[in-house]
Amino acid sequence: MSDQRSPDKRSTFPLPLSSVTGGATRKPGAPAPVATPQTATRNASSAASTGTRASFAPAQPAPSPRPPGYAHAHAPSAPVAQRSDLMASEAVRRAMVGRVAKQGVKDGVVLGAMEAVPRHLFIEPALSAQAYIDASLPIGHNQTISQPYIVARMIEAMRASLPSGAQMGRVLEIGTGCGYQAAVLSFVAREVYSIERIKPLHELAKTNLRPLRISNLRLQYGDGMLGLPQVAPFDGIILAAAGLEVPRALLEQLAIGAHLVAPVGAQVQHLERITRIGKNEWASETLEACHFVPLRPGTI
Closest to 224 (Cα-Cα) out of 249, 191, 255, 188: 249
- Assess whether the previous peptide bond of 148 is cis (omega < 30° from 0): no
Eight-state DSSP code of residue 32: P
Rg (CA), the chain: 18
> What is the chain's percent helix, strand, coil content, to nearest 5?
30, 25, 45
296 contacts 239 by C-beta, under 8 angstroms = no
Eight-state DSSP code of residue 212: G
146 is catalytic: yes
Catalytic residue among 64, 146, 186, 194: 146
Contacts for 63 with CB less than 8 Å, ≥ 6 apart: none
Among all residues, which ones are annotated catalytic? 146
